Structure 1
């Protein structure tokens, strides 16, 4: 914990990120996690020839060429570009690379080698607008990112940042000369547009995200000059630094020159334009056009070809098969240590597939350059087909508190289901009805850990009882609890009768974008049927699942439980924060609207919401931090607002044999850090 705190003590005094080289120095917390959680299975796999977890090895991001020189002594003397871009320059269609880059580009030290230009990265998707992470994460750029210790924020889009001594103000400096993909300048104008025309505009954003608030008030935007601005909060909010690091949606940047025409304050004819384009109102039009700039979920929601971006690839078109084509961003703001503008590859392809099974088969056939969603149950098959498929299989450590958690809808619109799901005894019964050992063996080859939805063991606020709470397989106890709550009568098929005298049915609709989730959901449905609670399982498209989940229309939405120390503090993970998860949409509305909408949560939950507000006001070195965080998780776990299955599994990645600078065996894989993003995909290259 002490090592985690060092950063926050430093940034309170002075921002020294520009001079940092983020090497692997303070790894005690993560080594402890890797050893205690994964050594038991990694020692039994062939991927570690010497039987040891490899030292963490990641590419390094420097804020500027000067910070790279300060750290290494080397000077970048010139900038180079891809041959395809050089041709456009020679034809007068693009300005020279030195004019396209910012005055001080970010510098990437590649993982292994300086790359060669060329080739196309390819990855799969099973739904049009969600969870094509193998494509989305190749492009994502956040205001700040994490260093190689997974703890220390470093500049990314921003050239620098500083947290004030009173912890209330964060000052960010953009890169002078940085441009959008269409060549237009990126300045504080784009931040001001976001703040005044979107975030603080009640017509567009009636209830701003709580991460933009502190002390009950919306953050204040202060313009310093064309490249420097401040976020000023009413009360201390050091956690917002990590918010800027954890999720792209908090860049606070939107292309004013592109989005203005969709906003009535900038275009008096916006309402007519909305009707022409098929939208009900200019607000709905604006929000749809803005989606690709918001959260990771919507990063694939492009409507307009070549809409401006600051990411590494530009969306060009979508073909009749749903495949999306991206090409290199000629104005991308990063170079390697030799001055070569990144990315190395010419483009990116999103390949639509019909389902998870086909997605996996195409991975085995070698259709992708990279595939991060391999099924552990197919690990042997992957290894057997490496040569014929032209890929290698890497096994990474998934820092995920739980693979699939089930959150019963305690705010259900059906009063009968609300009563049943709101009874703690029911949630306890459903938890102990699960055979987690069987899930582990059948779905995860026995390599995961049966555990409750809870923090990972390396988190400072983790207690051993948390992972073990009501995880024993005990159908006898499940039946006893169900009988006690009045569901002791059964219909002619042996299923339990609900409080209304009718067969009680759980309508389990799940999105399941990962193969293992689908198999796990099938087993869980069986276990609940076995204790007499009829469970009808239906798989739906992920985007439909998300819509119904967010609207509170599902009985028991299931999703992963991703939590790690610092990002939890930032408030970007809805599932781990009070009022807890995806089964309490009305409670969330009440909290988000300061009581104007939704349903008031129980006092115990409200108290934890207040505790979380306290948590965001203090730094990690404060003795209260661990105490408060523990209380927050205790409330969630003891009430089983999220019911876990297994966690901390290894994750197979399939990587084309000629893809260079990709992840190595034993590295951390985590949604918290946006998986591929931490490996800086812009430095991947194809040795063709």
Structure 2
């Protein structure tokens, strides 16, 4: 990447024109107008509070230079204020999806997956080593306190590098060649992070659904930090909260993502008003949100979000009954008939967006499993290729995706600039003869009375495939794969269980194989880190212990000792040192080619559609767009603060 400077490019003159005000907007008084004669406008909800003296006027709540949303190039219309968004979650922890959908980032992706300043007014980078961010003057947290470089200093010095709060120190992405960055505060609005070597992961990490953290609400959190508050007072507070000490209390109240603490200030479009747990959590507009529409109306348009907790199995029925206004999570293609059935009677429609996953149903042989016999087998590429060739992906596609899917490996989609046909097709054709030949070549020729092959130690070759019990579509796929593998003498035993338990078993090396979804980000650009392709994350079911080793800088887990995995690590390390996009793209393609050749994950079918239930009156919702966790942050990059209800 070349040196670059990025700004929202907005000046007040000629942009925040008053024009014809939407009926529900409230224009600020002339004495609160901008210096060049233009005016900001606020919602009736906030105007009432201003009139009662409960909040300052909009001019005093917005930054000097707010982010002015680009409506013209994105085919958005000027909206009207008011209304509520009703949505569903399965458990309180899923409130984090409000953070993902709200998508307020220092630097974030736009709808074309280009990095743009958001909370930052502008940023500069030099050789992927030096990153300088300038904040918006007058920007405030939801409690009205200033958002300044002091919040960055507090996070870096008093949280990330405070051993009681962060025993392992700053996150691994901050470490380059074993060194942390030099952190400098240039003034009250400008911070700089500087490394001696490139850190191309840094900017993309700020745009993730759960972004790399750089700041915290310092004025709020100081009241719970031993550096700023009397230790005895903190001990009494911790005792009342029934936690071990001040550090535990601080970490509990420091809620930058999960929405577990309604008192914690936020920069997101809506702030939580209801202490969880509750059957319904209420969010209200953030009075100090930093974005405005092209005519000066402070966003968001919609006043409240009502988040109800319900059983996942009831999501389609509740949507069918018209009990949601915006719902994507928890719905799948299997629910489309039920959702379509309810459209005529209820006030919603069902959009179908392409899901940016590498494969809907993916098998992960655990190369780090504790059982030595299974470990040796899982690490043999012939075994992995045999299992892949034994799957009839055409039947899976027709039975589960109505024939609309793309059969093949777990890899990037055609819409990615990194795509190549061979990444999808290599070793992904249905060929039971090849599968049998490979298994025979491995010496797995002995069989039991049911024609199931035997392991070298005499055990039946019965693969226990563990799966999240709530992923009913993957369970359906496994039932079909069970029949395919039986035809080549391999027995599959399905073990559904809680997702959290499944992950812990994986981290501990107790799984032999896991079935899950494929690449979270199947539409990457060269500037996005290829972290899903290399053993650098313990959450990857094929190499959890190698990922632990990388994430903990060698303190736990196991160092990769497989030649192909070592090659992936070398390529990933090479990507980390890149400064130019063409070099990054070449490395990505080498890694994708190696993934297809080695079958580290066994993909089946991609290209499923994500049903999204949306109120018929809701506007500025794209008719067709890509849906994913990463990089779109669910609906985040489409800016739901710009959605509104037509009269």
Q: TM-score range by the shorter chain?
A: 0.7 to 0.9
In 2, the alpha carbon distance for the partners of 1:625 and 1:568 equals: 5
Q: Which residue, 191, 197, 201 being the options, matches 1:235?
A: 197
Counterpart in the other structure of 2:22: none
Deviates more, 1:468-477 or 1:307-316: 468-477
Q: Which residue of 1 aligns with 2:578?
A: 618
Using the TM superposition, give the Cα deviation of residue 206 of structure 1 relative to its aligned residue in structure 2, in angstroms: 1.3
In the TM superposition, residue 154 of structure 1 has moved relative to its aligned partner by 1.2
Query: What corresponds to 1:341 in structure 2?
Result: 298
Map residues 206-605 of structure 1 onto 2, 5 A cutoff: 206=168, 208-267=170-229, 268-269=231-232, 273-274=237-238, 276-280=240-244, 282-290=246-254, 292-293=255-256, 299=257, 301-317=258-274, 322-355=279-312, 357-373=313-329, 374-491=331-448, 495-511=452-468, 516-529=473-486, 531-557=488-514, 558-564=516-522, 569-571=527-529, 574-579=531-536, 581-602=540-561, 603-605=563-565
Distance in 1 between residues matched to 2:569 and 2:15, nearest whole Å: 42
Match of 1:647 among 600, 606, 610: 606
Check the 8 A contact 1:122/1:348 in 2, yes or no. Answer: yes
Contact kept? 2:358, 2:520, Cα under 8 Å: yes
Report whether the alignment pairs 1:139 with 2:98.
no
Any conservation in 2 of the 1:587–1:599 contact (CA below 8 Å)? Answer: yes
Q: 1:621 to 1:423 in 2, by over 3 A?
A: closer
TM-score, normalised by the number of residues in structure 2: 0.87
CA distance in 2: counterparts of 1:283 and 1:69, whole angstroms? 45
* TM-score (ref. length: structure 1): 0.82
Structure 1 unaligned blocks of 5 or more:
1-7, 20-62, 294-298
Measured in 1, the distance between the counterparts of 2:235 and 2:376 equals: 45
Task: Give the secondary-structure state (helix, strand or coil) at the position aligned to 1:217.
Answer: coil
Structure 2: distance between partners of 1:261 and 1:172: 27
Shifted more, 390-399 versus 257-266: the winner is 257-266
Q: Could you tell me how far apart the structure 2 residues matched to 1:539 and 1:67 are?
A: 59
Change (3 A) 1:456 1:512: farther
**Superposed displacement of residue 259, structure 1:** 3.2
Contact 1:399–1:648 (8 Å) recurs in 2: yes
Equivalent position SS for 2:289: coil
Q: 1:553 to 1:342 in 2, by over 3 A?
A: farther
**SS of the residue 2:273 aligns to:** strand
Aligned to 1:48: none
CA distance in 1, matches of 2:446, 2:237: 60
How far apart in 2 are the matches of 1:474 and 1:456? 24
1:105 to 50, 59, 66: 66
Please list the CA deviations of residues 242-263 of structure 1 after superposition, one character each: whole Å capped at 9, or x if unmatched.
Answer: 3323344224121123334444
- Structure 1 residues 384-403: Cα deviation after superposition (integer angstroms, max 9, x where no partner): 43221221222223333222
Shift of 1:98: 1.4
1:119 has 2:83 as partner: yes
For 1:138-179, what per-residue CA distance to the aligned partner results, in whole angstroms no more than 9, with x for missing partners? Answer: 3221111223432x3111111110112x43101001112111
Instruction: Select the structure that is richer in helix.
Output: 1
Alignment partners' CA distance in 1, 2:451 and 2:252: 48
**Cα RMSD (Å):** 3.1
Assess if the C-alpha contact under 8 Å between 2:617 and 2:646 holds in 1.
yes
Aligned residues: 619
Aligned partner of 1:660 in structure 2 is 619
SS in 2 for 1:358: helix
Q: Deviations over 1:651-675 (max 9, x none)?
A: 332211111111213x222332213
